[in-house]
Structure 1
Amino acid sequence: MKMKTTKLLLLSTLFIGSFSCTQIMEDNESSIPEHEPKANMELQVTTHDGAPFNKNESSNKRYSGSPGGPVMMQAFYWDVPAGGTWWNTVKGKLNNWSNQGIGSIWLPPASKAQNGPFSMGYDPMDYFDFGDYNQMGSKETRFGSGTELRSLVGEAHNQNMEVYADIVINHNSGGQLEANPYTGTDTWTKFNPASGKFNRTYNDFHPNLDANNDEGVFGGFPDLSHKKSYVQDWLWKKSNSVGKYYKNDVGFDGWRFDYVKGFGAWVVKDWVNNVGGFAVGELWDGNASTLKWWVDNTDRKSSAFDFAAYYAMDRAFDGNNLNELNGDMLWKKDSQRAVTFVANHDTDEIWRKNLAYAYILTHEGYPCIFYRDYEDWLDKSMMNNLLWIHKSYATGNTSILHVDNDEYIARRNGYNGNPGLVVYINNSDNWKERWVPTNWSNKKIKDYTGHSNWEPWTQGGTWVKIQCPPRSYSIWTLK
């Protein structure tokens, strides 16, 4: 929510199609040599368990039960079209998304905000107005009416998809001026929403009698005081609280918590303990240890977006040094609480997105796809192929087999009878090939991206030679 960075995407460079291997082969490299090569690389094995990703308290049956687990779609971008059409636009996409392996959608903040029909929702005013009350300049929100929102949620459930609400509880906006005895000035802290629920005054914001401040203030907006019992009751404790109304009346299945640097991790823990549902926090920090610290302080009730992986991918793919992928990331520390992503409505820094999506859709964590990447900017057949590979074969823990400036090869070790996969990423301008150890002995394998037409046999000791086209990837598993 905080900042918006954009790039002009050179779409023609993002996806490299299939190549004929014979164009670069001097001999038949798919044949099996008589002797295995000697291992000359260190094997780095992560310490995660081998089970597929398991969303806490998830009810999603179709994709949490598939081998690779679910994929999330961020179902909006900054400044989606105004005019109250967005809920219906998303609803029209659900059948296709579900068929391609999307198991959940993350919606923008749905309630009425200060800028009414023009707001993206991150300046919340009335948490209980989803486009039902004429206030802040309109009845509908930017995205549509409350009826349309509920219809969208219902259709998502019909498609066996979960729906996550973007929850902005650090700050409020759109209140009226009132004399504030704690600041000695007039502050915009008097809220009398048309819904008649969760009226607020200066007592509910910082500073107040109980607390001068909390962990962070955003942009000068009135900062909600979560230590106040009245605020806790209205946000998550009461039977008609914000959280329980979203869950029980509208049908939301989980939460994306905005700007969690602004309040204690205990808030998210208490919310989930009282309301339930999947949770992920936006802790904008590139340090994997900090992300893990925050997740642990929610008592592991919440996941976190893996900004450490995001920045590592940017340095690796755009900075032309794949050694960066050896760095620490949240998914390496706690794979079941890491939501990996390539872009979102706030930040879009990675240019070589084909490589980044190949990375997150073959590695551990809960991958999140950005709406504009899938619907507008990238090759949809490429994305659908990666989604199919993810749900079919991205299982088990991860072994990093080889890393240098240009090449990265990792193996998902499989789980519960699923063979797993080997992913080969090549960030150079030339075809590459390399011997790697697999978990398969005397088996034929193939590249399920179609970028290579090799179908080599693994040796008795499991080694095999695989290849990868320039600025692209290949993903191998049993034929």
Structure 2
Amino acid sequence: MITINMKTIKKVILLFGGFTLLLSSCVEDDSVALPAAPENPKLDLTQYTRADAGVMMQGFYWDVEPRGEWYNVLNTKVADWANSGINRVWLPAPGKGASGGFSMGYDPSDYFDVGEFDQQGTIKTRFGSRAELENLIQNFHANNIEVIADIVMGHNSGGGLQANPFRGGEEVYSLFDENNGNASGKFNRNFNHFHPNEIHNADPQALFFAETDLCHDQPYVQDWLWERDDSVGEFYKSLGFDGWRFDYVKSFDPKWVKAWNDKIGGFSVGENFDGNEQVLKDWVDASGSPAFDFAMFYRLDETLDRAKDLSALGNEGNMLRKLDPANAVTFVANHDTEKDENPDNRISYANKLLAYAYMLTHDGYPTIFYSDYENEAFKPQLKKLIQIYNSIATGAIEIIEANENEYIMKRAGNGDNPGLILYMNISDKATQYDISTNWVNAKIVDYADNSRFTPTTDANGNVTIYAPGKSYTIWSLGK
């Protein structure tokens, strides 16, 4: 029991999950007894672990530190990520970049140098040595986590100058050999392997490094990237990589992703940086690969930050996950959005957990950003949300309400799995909503721990649910 002195206190304000209860009293006794906090009313969610569950971790942020030690840093995270329900980790592009020890991998020079050749001013990549990479992958595998490599096959950097006759003799950095940024001696390249060349003029959107935009129509390029037994893809698979994240897929035809996957195999996801859900769906259909759901990302940014109106979350078909949930890889932040100074290209810190609550209760395959998960202000709640996704975030989705301040969604569950109800509230004040559930005469609990109320449904499954201001609750069956 809890006792409070009432001699001088006439009014006591109690806060329960964001709701205010005002008690007035004229009691002159020394104390008044209040009920103790209830025991944990939640069910053990491990009994509902889904076979199709799993969450991917983006295992890096822009300009990771310390340079040359990132693989070793990640090795200290493996057990915790595995215990939290992570089943895949996306690692940065492993090859040596033109900027050497400063490279984040997006300026690929030598695909086969993963930290063992002395070139571009370093032996290690920014992330570590080949031995450290292989050790990290083995550790992930020992903890039942697949490892995804970032594949940058649209453009190259760091080669030597040579005249390109297809550019009127202009000198461009298109010579890659043992003395020019390709110490491995594998996949040596020259001007004819970039655009324009004798067989192909340009890719659709070669916005970066146009002079060294790789031409995948060249059989030599196809052979070295994925067709040969000692290709880039086969080499990365031999290191232990289980799948692929294709960088900036707008810069080459989606059929090349399909060709890679047909030959190399494994999970894949494409970065088609576009907020139009139909553009994403068309790319998925053409490539046969899942894609990051930039449409969902921008809808969340729009509703939570710009419009401050959740109504659009109720619209049909405005995200890839609504059109094709099996091929939608959802996310709230990544290395690009978090370094973008334009606030319209990132979800604000204040609304991050609301966005994660949406993502980790809906369908699609969710990705957690390293810097968010390893932020101690977010980590406890993200661990809860990951467990919720991996257990009771299942069954048909029904949108109950989507207005300026509230978004309420119900997952029907299946079999013995009870499903859940998400209640998002972006107003300043606590709100409540009368809802019809699938649970009859049952106590329900907020598994996000943002409300301590434990209401009981009636004989028809009706109940009032609650959400604190600028927060969310996730309701399901209690004990």
> Shared topology, TM-score over 0.5?
yes
1:392 is paired with a residue whose SS is coil
Distance, in Å, in 1 between the alignment partners of 2:53 and 2:277 is 23
Per-residue deviation at 1:177?
0.9
Query: Which residue of 142, 163, 166 maps to 1:182?
Result: 166
Question: Residues 19 and 430 of structure 2 are in contact (CA less than 8 Å); yes or no, is this contact kept in structure 1?
Answer: no
Q: Deviations over 1:384-409 (max 9, x none)?
A: 11111111211122111111100000
Question: Residues 67 and 393 of structure 1 are in contact (CA less than 8 Å); yes or no, is this contact kept in structure 2?
Answer: no
Per-residue deviation at 1:168?
0.2
Match of 1:304 in 2: 291
Is residue 166 of structure 1 aligned with residue 162 of structure 2? no
Distance 1:416 1:256, change over 3 A: farther
What is the total number of aligned residue pairs between the two structures? 425
Per-residue deviation at 1:460?
2.7
Match of 1:283 in 2: 272
Question: Residues 277 and 295 of structure 2 are in contact (CA less than 8 Å); yes or no, is this contact kept in structure 1?
Answer: yes
2:442 is paired with a residue whose SS is coil
Match of 1:24 in 2: 20
Match of 2:118 in 1: 134
2:118 is paired with a residue whose SS is coil
Distance 1:289 1:377, change over 3 A: farther
Is residue 466 of structure 1 aligned with residue 465 of structure 2? yes
Question: Residues 152 and 247 of structure 2 are in contact (CA less than 8 Å); yes or no, is this contact kept in structure 1?
Answer: yes
Match of 2:341 in 1: none
Matched residue type, 2:367? C
Is residue 350 of structure 1 aligned with residue 347 of structure 2? yes
Per-residue deviation at 1:93?
0.3
Distance 1:95 1:336, change over 3 A: same
Summarize the alignment of residues 256-271 of structure 1 with structure 2, pairs less than 5 Å apart: 256-271=245-260
Distance 1:444 1:385, change over 3 A: same
Matched residue type, 1:131? G
Give runs of ≥4 in structure 1 deviating > 6 Å.
Answer: none
Distance, in Å, in 2 between the alignment partners of 1:246 and 1:68 is 26
Question: Residues 189 and 202 of structure 1 are in contact (CA less than 8 Å); yes or no, is this contact kept in structure 2?
Answer: yes
Match of 2:474 in 1: 475
Match of 1:124 in 2: 108
Per-residue deviation at 1:87?
0.4
Identify the structure with bigger relative contact order (alpha carbons < 8 Å, sequence gap 6+): 1
Match of 2:202 in 1: 213
Match of 2:424 in 1: 425
Match of 1:403 in 2: 402
Query: Which residue of 90, 94, 107 maps to 1:110?
Result: 94
Per-residue deviation at 1:324?
2.1
Q: Deviations over 1:310-334 (max 9, x none)?
A: 0110111113100121241000001
Matched residue type, 2:311? N
Distance, in Å, in 2 between the alignment partners of 1:441 and 1:92 is 45
Distance, in Å, in 1 between the alignment partners of 2:62 and 2:297 is 19
Matched residue type, 1:446? V
Computing the radius of gyration from Cα coordinates, the structure with the larger value is 2
Distance 1:278 1:416, change over 3 A: farther
Distance, in Å, in 1 between the alignment partners of 2:198 and 2:437 is 63
Question: Residues 18 and 468 of structure 2 are in contact (CA less than 8 Å); yes or no, is this contact kept in structure 1?
Answer: no
Question: Residues 18 and 467 of structure 2 are in contact (CA less than 8 Å); yes or no, is this contact kept in structure 1?
Answer: no
Q: Deviations over 1:253-296 (max 9, x none)?
A: 11110000001111111111111011111101101111111101
Match of 2:218 in 1: 228
Distance, in Å, in 1 between the alignment partners of 2:142 and 2:274 is 36
Is residue 316 of structure 1 aligned with residue 300 of structure 2? no
Which ranges of structure 2 fall in alignment gaps of 5 or more residues?
1-13, 24-45, 339-345
Quick check: 202-211 or 214-223, which moved more?
214-223
Matched residue type, 2:224? W
Per-residue deviation at 1:461?
2.5
2:295 is paired with a residue whose SS is helix
Query: Which residue of 211, 231, 241 maps to 2:231?
Result: 241
Is residue 96 of structure 1 aligned with residue 80 of structure 2? yes
Distance, in Å, in 1 between the alignment partners of 2:138 and 2:361 is 30
Hey, which of these two has a bigger chunk of strand by percent? 2
Distance, in Å, in 2 between the alignment partners of 1:26 and 1:309 is 41
Distance, in Å, in 2 between the alignment partners of 1:378 and 1:23 is 22
Is residue 339 of structure 1 aligned with residue 336 of structure 2? no
Distance, in Å, in 1 between the alignment partners of 2:357 and 2:209 is 40
1:405 is paired with a residue whose SS is coil
Distance 1:81 1:401, change over 3 A: same
Question: Residues 19 and 469 of structure 1 are in contact (CA less than 8 Å); yes or no, is this contact kept in structure 2?
Answer: no
Q: Deviations over 1:98-138 (max 9, x none)?
A: 10111111111111010111111100011010001001111
Distance, in Å, in 1 between the alignment partners of 2:17 and 2:109 is 59
Match of 1:457 in 2: 456
Question: Residues 18 and 430 of structure 2 are in contact (CA less than 8 Å); yes or no, is this contact kept in structure 1?
Answer: no
Q: Deviations over 1:13-55 (max 9, x none)?
A: xxxxx9515953589xxxxxxxxxxxxxxxxxxxxxxxxxxxx
2:213 is paired with a residue whose SS is coil
Matched residue type, 2:314? N
Distance, in Å, in 1 between the alignment partners of 2:444 and 2:113 is 55
Per-residue deviation at 1:67?
5.3
Per-residue deviation at 1:378?
3.4
1:283 is paired with a residue whose SS is coil
Match of 1:66 in 2: 50
Distance, in Å, in 2 between the alignment partners of 1:182 and 1:286 is 35
Q: Deviations over 1:356-377 (max 9, x none)?
A: 0111011111111111111136
Distance, in Å, in 1 between the alignment partners of 2:261 and 2:414 is 30
Per-residue deviation at 1:354?
1.1
Distance 1:214 1:65, change over 3 A: farther
Distance, in Å, in 2 between the alignment partners of 1:91 and 1:474 is 34
Per-residue deviation at 1:83?
2.8
Q: Normalized against structure 2, the TM-score is what?
A: 0.86
Distance, in Å, in 1 between the alignment partners of 2:378 and 2:111 is 38
Is residue 199 of structure 1 aligned with residue 188 of structure 2? yes
Match of 1:439 in 2: 438
Q: Deviations over 1:443-464 (max 9, x none)?
A: 2211112222222222232222
Match of 1:254 in 2: 243
1:435 is paired with a residue whose SS is strand
CA-atom RMSD, angstroms? 2.0
Which ranges of structure 1 fall in alignment gaps of 5 or more residues?
1-17, 28-61
Match of 2:314 in 1: 326
Distance, in Å, in 2 between the alignment partners of 1:166 and 1:444 is 46
2:391 is paired with a residue whose SS is helix
